[in-house]
Amino acid sequence: MLREKLKNYNVILASKSPRRQQFFKDLDIDFTIQLKEVEEIYPKELKGKEITKFLADLKSKPFTDLSKNDILITSDTIVWLDNKMLGKPKDEAEAFEMLRSLSGKSHEVITSISIKNKSFQEIITDVTTVTFKKLTDEEINYYIKNYKPFDKAGAYGIQEWIGFIAIENLQGSYFNVVGLPVHKLYKVLMSL
């Protein structure tokens, strides 16, 4: 479907996330990967969806020479807990703190996707509410040691062991939690 729909475009995915790259393959999109370094810094007064929208847009900014048929896709995922943002943990201690703070509570996983071309830009956002059971310190340490979740917002991957044993409830898109609300991306791309 999308391959045919987008045959006159060059779809560029600016993401180093192997999960996002796999989603694009599984959507049967013909695409290339182009990476440009961006420092993920945002104004501290921003909250929740405003942060992911800002960062998805920021990741698109270095691409200043898009041509008419290019479609650039960038995105950002955060964990939003008790009015605070959890990004990627920098070390084991921070991962431990993040998982402790998620334990026994619900949080939101928010992803924004920027779809941009020479003459337009659309930023879409999706929110999933995830509820964790109470985690023991032993479970947290076991997960961090074996899965090293330093590339994941909130220090967990729903698609890994911790997702199997700890997630009691989920409201919204599972794939949004993994890093891409594919159903919304599909809708926008089909409408181009």
Ligand X SMILES: Cc1cn([C@H]2C[C@H](O)[C@@H](COP(=O)(O)OP(=O)(O)OP(=O)(O)O)O2)c(=O)[nH]c1=O
Which residues of this chain interact with ligand X, rule CB under 6 A?
Answer: 15-17, 19-20, 59, 75-77, 79, 88, 109, 151-154, 156-159, 177-179
Question: b/e per residue, 86-103, with b = 16+ CB within 10 A?
Answer: bbbbeeeeebbebbebbb
Q: Which two tokens stand for residue 98?
A: 């993040």
Q: Is 76 a catalytic residue?
A: yes
If DSSP codes are grouped into helix, strand and coil, which group holds residue 50? helix
Contact 52, 76 (CB under 8 A): yes
Q: Which run of H or of E encompasses 78?
A: strand 70-81
Q: What angle do CA 19, 93, 80 make, to 5 degrees?
A: 55
Sequence-ordered list of residues with C-beta below 8 angstroms from that of 168, at least 6 positions apart, any chain = 131, 132, 133
Q: Which of 76, 82, 91, 151 is catalytic?
A: 76
